Amino acid sequence: MEAGSPEQGFVVIAHLTRPRGNKGELCAFPLSDHPERYQRLQSVQVDGAEYEVEQVWYHNDQPVFKFRGVDSIGEAEKLAGHDVLVPASERFPLPEDEYYFADLMGCRVVDLSSGTTVGVVTGWQDAGGPVILEVDEGRVLIPYVKAILTEIDLPAHEIRLKLPEGLLDLNR
Q: Is residue 6 predicted with pLDDT exceeding 60? A: no
How far CA 149 is from CA of 13, 27, 108, 144, 146, in Å, comes to 25, 35, 12, 7, 5
| C-beta of residue 151 within 8 angstroms of C-beta of residue 159 | yes
pLDDT tier, 1 (very low <50, low <70, confident <90, very high otherwise): very low
Local structure of residue 73 (DSSP, 8 states):
H
Is the CB of residue 25 less than 8 Å from the CB of residue 97?
no
User: Quick check: pTM over 0.95?
Assistant: no
**pLDDT > 60? residue 86:** yes
Beta bridge mates, 64:
27, 57
Give Cβ neighbours of residue 62 (< 8 Å, ≥ 6 apart): 27, 28, 29, 30
Other C-beta atoms closer than 10 Å to the C-beta of 121 total 23
Note every long-range contact of 134-138, with CB atoms under 8 Å and residues 24 or more positions apart, other chains counting.
Answer: 135/109
How many distinct helices (H) and strands (E) make up the chain? 3, 13
The pLDDT tens digits for 17-75 are 999 999 999 999 998 878 888 989 999 999 999 999 999 999 998 999 999 999 999 99
Mean pLDDT of 101-117: 91
The pLDDT assigned to 5 comes to 44
DSSP string, 77-129: HHHTTPEEEEEGGGSPP--TT---HHHHTT-EEEETTT--EEEEEEEEE-SSS
